[in-house]
Structure 1
Amino acid sequence: MSVTTRREENVGFVEIDNPPVNAINQAVRQGLLDAVRWAEKEMLDRVIVTGAGRAFAAGADAKEFDKAPVEPHLPDVMNAIDESFVPWVAAINGVALGGGAEIAMACRMRIMAPGAQIGLPEVTLGVIPGAGGTARLPRLVGLEKALDMITGGKPLRAEAALAAGLVHMVDENPVDAAFMVNTEELGCIVPTWEFNPPEADADVLAAARERVAAKMSDQIAPQRAIDVIEHGLSVPFHEALKTERAAFIELKGGEQARALRHIFFAERAAKAPDWLDAAPVPLEQVAVVGGGTMGAGIAYALLNAGLSVTLLETDADGVERAKANVEKIVEASLKRGMIDAARAEDHRARLTVTDDYGQANKATLAIEAAFESMEVKRDVFAKLEAVLPADAILASNTSYLDVNEIASCVADPSRVVGLHFFAPAHIMKLLEIVNADATGDVALATGFALAKKLRKVPVLAGVCDGFIGNRILARYREAADTVLMDGSTPWEIDDAMVDFGYAMGLYETQDLSGLDISHANRRRQDATRDPNRRYIPIADRLVEMGKLGRKTGAGWYRYPGGGGKVADPIVADLALEEAHFAGITRVDYSEGEIRSRLLHAMINEAADLLDEGIAQSARDIDLVTVFGYGFPRWRGGLMHYADTLGAKAIVAQLEEYEKEDPLVWKVSPLLRRCAETDTPLADAKPSA
């Protein structure tokens, strides 16, 4: 049963039991409503509600969101609990999120276990609380805190919830504590719906709107939540619930909510493929080669996951730099409160930084994060192979280089796998796991096991230049550079994509990472570049001028005094000059046309990746673009967005662009098949 009940003395015990996280579906709702009636019929003194396993209740079952609501509705269940003459006590043993938090708030008293969390993250799914959260939370914690929790979606840990007044007590055993609560004390606590709402402070509401506009300007749900909360302050409680419910129903059927649900389920489904049943190697000791920005970030991520790390460098100076790089991350994490002093010392104790590869001889996994040179990679792998156990897995963090070629220098190439981390590696959630031709199942399984340990989103990729993400990025850059050459400026292009939902435009991003990095990659490609493909030399001109981005004070933009970016007329003149040299008559692209060209270029490239089997599914491409490249989450990822346009419309637009340049705008065969068969990209399959 999804909800179980039992009686001990005159106390009822109600347990939500819907593994793995006690999601609140129709059966749970019915079980809770039946429990209210059971408790009243039994004339109990109190009911203690808790969750089976490690969760109290992790919210409504989002799988039901795409279906018509089925009775009993969650608001009716909450009202039954809140209005019952038998007081309910929430014993919050684990996460209480969304509907789980609303159950707790409908109870007369709330007791949390240390480490438990409570919150209303509905805005992250494009909706607002729909079972009384917008009305009950302000009554319990005040307007400012309620606005912060509901519009931000971040849960509170037990001590913070106690300080906010959301819970009454924190106890190691909340069920026992609830059983011991004095009956008279419990009887003196009035139901939540009887609390007076806080004053509608105009300044507090305005500040919340301003904060949401700055951080989540394109998302509908956070602003709508503020509207509903504000309305609820001036009307009777049950009228406020009706307004909330109407807004919730409207939002959950909208495009943003569908997109956010899609990426929510895609993230949770990201795991090793079903056919991969090999056991990974044990992960306790890991070697990392290269202590630069990427290698230090990888090392810290491993330390944070409880692993021991041997960080290998080339010489004594490199060792000192690597130590300093890791220490910077440790200190930053301490400053931000992400770790405490004891944990920082534990991290340091599990880190060895050395130029002696022999000290890594017990590592079961080595991750190479050295300079992007095939010669360097080959040298590193030869050194690792000489000292590591014969069954240790050898991984490369290369962003572009051929993992097949890297593996060819190893006696047993089945040990080699690509593990492409994203900078900063200790923060970015995406991990591309690259399956080379000879990669064995144990190596692949180890990659997925590592992703799970690091709490990263794993995506399986095949071998090609740039794998999934960087190959799409390369086409994005090419399309943007062409638009720049033919009729725009970097700031016009960036503004168009920020308005679409990116946090930062392509050219500002390049300035942040450094133009010399992409310049080196272009030089690597010179020998194999198709001479019939247009090459835009504007970025090369900037590098020749020493304009490498923020680190030199100028790149695509200028950064006077190390401050914010400003448009650079020199860059605009360079585009005009190069267009003149190429005999191009520039055009004035609208913002919509800029977006169309860049997005269609990425969609077409992504479709080719799927058709070639480099990506396993459209869902994987969505994960890569959202978690690795800043594609707006609320649009669901690149391929989910493409499906909102439809394959027929995409192909028709690409065919128009194809008239300008048949080579770069050649329509993907997969897109044509989808258009002809009216198949969503979500269901598309590679060529046989």
Structure 2
Amino acid sequence: MAEVTQFSATVSAGLVDEGGSGILLVTIDNAPVNALSADVRSGLERALSHGEAAPDIAGIVITGASKTFIGGADIRELGQPPQEPLLPSVIEHIERLEKPVVAAINGAALGGGLEVALGCHFRVASPGVQLGLPEVKLGLVPGAGGTQRLPRLIGVPAAIDIIGSGRSVEATEASSLGLVDEIAEADLLHTAVAAAHRLAETDFRRTGELQLPPSDPSAIESAKTKILAKARGQRAAIEAVCLVEAAVRPLTEGLADERATFLSLRHSAEAAALRHVFFAERIASKVDGLEGINPRPVDTVGIAGLGLMGSGIAVAALGAGYRVIGLDQTTEAAAKGHERIIELLQRNLAAGRIDQETFDAQRDCLAVTSSDADLEPCDLVVEAVFDDLDVKIDLFRRLDKVVPPDAILATNTSYLNPDEIAAATAHPERVLGLHFFSPAHVMRLLEVVRCARTARDVLATGLAFAKKLRKLAIVTGVTEGFIGNRIFSAYRREAECMLEDGALPHEIDAALEDYGFPMGLFAVYDMAGLEIAWARRKRQAATRDPGERYVEIADRLCEAGRLGQKAGRGWYVYPEGTRQVDPDVTEIIAQCRAKKGITPRSFTASEIIDRLLAAMAEEGKNLLEQGIAARDSDIDLVMINGYGFPAFKGGPMFATAQTPR
């Protein structure tokens, strides 16, 4: 390659194949993810103009430094006044160039990065790279041609799916769709340069000038229905679908409409909430006191208890590349646990989430036992046994005798005090909580509990373990229910108080679903079963503050055998499995009101939401004041990722802060 020219601090170029017509190789180097900052855009513009004017240049190849092509917009520019040149004009320059421009996609091409590639005349990708337009996840639509150029390449149904969901596709799927023209099995840049030379001898295509591929109207409708059902009213997804469908118009009209929609959404409440969530996730891993602390090495993970939770944790650990040893009380129970884990792995295989080779490797990394001594090789043991303090203490005392002193012991308790469990061990400093959410191999949230005596490197190891499992780890202090269940309890109490005050279960559920929750609170109760919470209330009865308001309605339902969906009746009734309002529940509620002399009143949906949000935010404030939660944004992440709070509302702390009371 000829001498490199620096077109900006982040964009450089050099000539490949000198001695005739060469190819200008333009490299974007804007660590860590080659974001499209103003400096990158400016450098690209200058490089394009140089390549266009130079007679010894036949074409241009654009690629990224390191492991990313272009990771999207520069988040530092979010909310800032736009700086020239704007990305749409840079991409238009690429597309109208009289010389071929090839995208050599060496790593992730996301958001504006994929839009740059779409503006190129040919796309070569390395195997396994990720391509996507995730803007809807920030309450936006693509703003530089993505909704107009992508459907011209891959058709309207596939474009609705990718843009409306914000999902990424790998190179193989991208190639089958027509998004990628060639996968470079050997040298990416050599393949891209060769493509540029070929195109220089042809009348190459421009994406924006392509006609939409013909699509079956039923396929378009199916794609729309799927996206809009998941969107639950989010404006960005709705607008994205409309823009893709409208790509039949001339490109200039579609681009103008897309840009206007993008600018409108950028200042919306939905986008502000999702930006809050985005930045909240970036800072969640920053934990005071862990600066410079290295985690302990973990290669082998023990799972004590192979029920539904333990099996899910095992699958998550196997998926992260760990060796797993499962422990249960008897040989028969261990064998059933093994069978359950293999069944979950087979589901992943059938769904295409893993291939046969990966399935075989994960199966071979799994062993089960009924002997405590077989956990001796473990670097970390996660218990997932019955949530009973005596049972867990007995287990931890046994583990103390078989695992090395530097092995970490983690409890998955939901409500018990992990400090009491740790205090019963010989090495309490190696104990922490890892509170998984069910199903553990699916749910993203993991509360990492810092006990009173947890060593700093043990906490760091818990966070590193969570990251390898691809979980969103939120550190919490010790309190009953930690962050999530404690707020959920406050939220539930307020909902049940509203039942006494005059609301009905289906009214509260309808208000929550209209707000954006995937399912109402009482429907969730029925799905999970009412008996566990009932048992907990009975255990707490002796210590309950007699001056605190207590609602007996749920107890009356349980006493009547209404234990939820599996019993065919709970807060609702389920004839043939279909949820329906039950007049018998309405009568039980009326009887409980009359017993307390409460005159019921009606509630609007907004009143219901206001009371529930206020209850969540008040309990969140208490958690912050007590040092249980480090940040209000951590609380928002827990409620979004563990309890169905709509991300596009930003979480309870964010939502209430936006609405002065």
Q: TM-score range by the shorter chain?
A: over 0.9
Q: CA deviation at 1:504?
A: 0.6
2:46 is the counterpart of 1:34? yes
> One-letter code of the match for 2:231?
M
Pairs within 5 Å for 1:653-664: none
Is residue 156–residue 245 contact of structure 2 (8 Å, CA) maintained in 1? no
Pairs within 5 Å for 1:585-600: 585-600=599-614
Question: 2 CA distance for matches of 1:247 and 1:465?
Answer: 46
Give percent identity, aligned residues only: 43
Q: CA deviation at 1:203?
A: 5.5
Structure-2 change in CA distance of 1:543 and 1:316 (3 Å): farther
Indicate the residue corresponding to 1:403 in structure 2: 418
3-state secondary structure, aligned to 1:19: coil
Q: CA deviation at 1:564?
A: 2.4
3-state secondary structure, aligned to 2:99: coil
Q: Render the CA deviation track for 1:226-251: whole Å, top value 9, x for unaligned.
A: 333344422x3223212211111111
Indicate the residue corresponding to 1:686 in structure 2: none
Is residue 200–residue 230 contact of structure 1 (8 Å, CA) maintained in 2? no
Indicate the residue corresponding to 2:28 in structure 1: 16
Is residue 154–residue 177 contact of structure 2 (8 Å, CA) maintained in 1? yes
Q: CA deviation at 1:42?
A: 2.1
Q: Render the CA deviation track for 1:8-49: whole Å, top value 9, x for unaligned.
A: 221111111111211111111111111101111323111111
Q: Render the CA deviation track for 1:371-401: whole Å, top value 9, x for unaligned.
A: 1111011001001101000111111111111
3-state secondary structure, aligned to 1:566: coil
3-state secondary structure, aligned to 2:386: coil
Question: 1 CA distance for matches of 2:363 and 2:222?
Answer: 41
Is residue 200–residue 233 contact of structure 1 (8 Å, CA) maintained in 2? no
Question: 2 CA distance for matches of 1:151 and 1:521?
Answer: 42
Indicate the residue corresponding to 2:349 in structure 1: 334
Is residue 617–residue 653 contact of structure 2 (8 Å, CA) maintained in 1? yes
Indicate the residue corresponding to 1:667 in structure 2: none
> One-letter code of the match for 2:506?
W
Indicate the residue corresponding to 1:267 in structure 2: 281
Structure-2 change in CA distance of 1:132 and 1:357 (3 Å): same
2:112 is the counterpart of 1:104? no
Structure 1 residue corresponding to 2:128, chosen from 98, 106, 115? 115
Q: CA deviation at 1:201?
A: 7.5
Indicate the residue corresponding to 1:601 in structure 2: 615
Structure 2 residue corresponding to 1:461, chosen from 467, 476, 486? 476
Question: 1 CA distance for matches of 2:591 and 2:261?
Answer: 53
Is residue 272–residue 445 contact of structure 1 (8 Å, CA) maintained in 2? no
Deviates more, 1:119-128 or 1:200-209: 200-209
Q: CA deviation at 1:185?
A: 4.0
Deviates more, 1:579-588 or 1:280-289: 579-588
Question: 2 CA distance for matches of 1:385 and 1:112?
Answer: 51
3-state secondary structure, aligned to 2:143: coil
Is residue 60–residue 102 contact of structure 2 (8 Å, CA) maintained in 1? yes
TM-score normalized by the length of structure 2 = 0.95
Q: Render the CA deviation track for 1:508-551: whole Å, top value 9, x for unaligned.
A: 11111111111122223223321111111221222222221122
3-state secondary structure, aligned to 2:73: coil
Indicate the residue corresponding to 2:182 in structure 1: 169
2:15 is the counterpart of 1:7? yes
Structure-2 change in CA distance of 1:394 and 1:242 (3 Å): same
Question: 2 CA distance for matches of 1:564 and 1:333?
Answer: 28
3-state secondary structure, aligned to 2:512: helix
Question: 1 CA distance for matches of 2:85 and 2:604?
Answer: 51
2:573 is the counterpart of 1:565? no
Unaligned runs of 5+ in 2: 1-8
Question: 2 CA distance for matches of 1:406 and 1:23?
Answer: 47
Question: 2 CA distance for matches of 1:204 and 1:164?
Answer: 15
Question: 2 CA distance for matches of 1:447 and 1:440?
Answer: 11
Q: CA deviation at 1:316?
A: 2.3
Indicate the residue corresponding to 1:73 in structure 2: 86
Q: CA deviation at 1:206?
A: 4.6
Q: Render the CA deviation track for 1:284-322: whole Å, top value 9, x for unaligned.
A: 011111111111111111111010111111112321331
Structure 1 residue corresponding to 2:298, chosen from 283, 300, 317? 283
Structure 2 residue corresponding to 1:580, chosen from 590, 594, 598? 594
Q: Render the CA deviation track for 1:121-151: whole Å, top value 9, x for unaligned.
A: 1111111111111121121112222222211
Structure 2 residue corresponding to 1:638, chosen from 641, 652, 660? 652
Q: CA deviation at 1:325?
A: 2.1
Deviates more, 1:91-100 or 1:39-48: 39-48
Pairs within 5 Å for 1:185-334: 185-186=199-200, 187-198=202-213, 206-234=221-249, 236-276=250-290, 277-334=292-349
Q: CA deviation at 1:196?
A: 2.7
Structure 1 residue corresponding to 2:371, chosen from 344, 356, 374? 356
Question: 1 CA distance for matches of 2:607 and 2:459?
Answer: 42
> One-letter code of the match for 2:15?
R
3-state secondary structure, aligned to 1:567: coil
Runs of 4+ in 1 over 6 A off after TM superposition: 199-202
Question: 1 CA distance for matches of 2:355 and 2:507?
Answer: 44
Question: 2 CA distance for matches of 1:424 and 1:250?
Answer: 38
Q: CA deviation at 1:438?
A: 1.1
3-state secondary structure, aligned to 1:166: coil
Question: 2 CA distance for matches of 1:451 and 1:206?
Answer: 39
2:159 is the counterpart of 1:146? yes
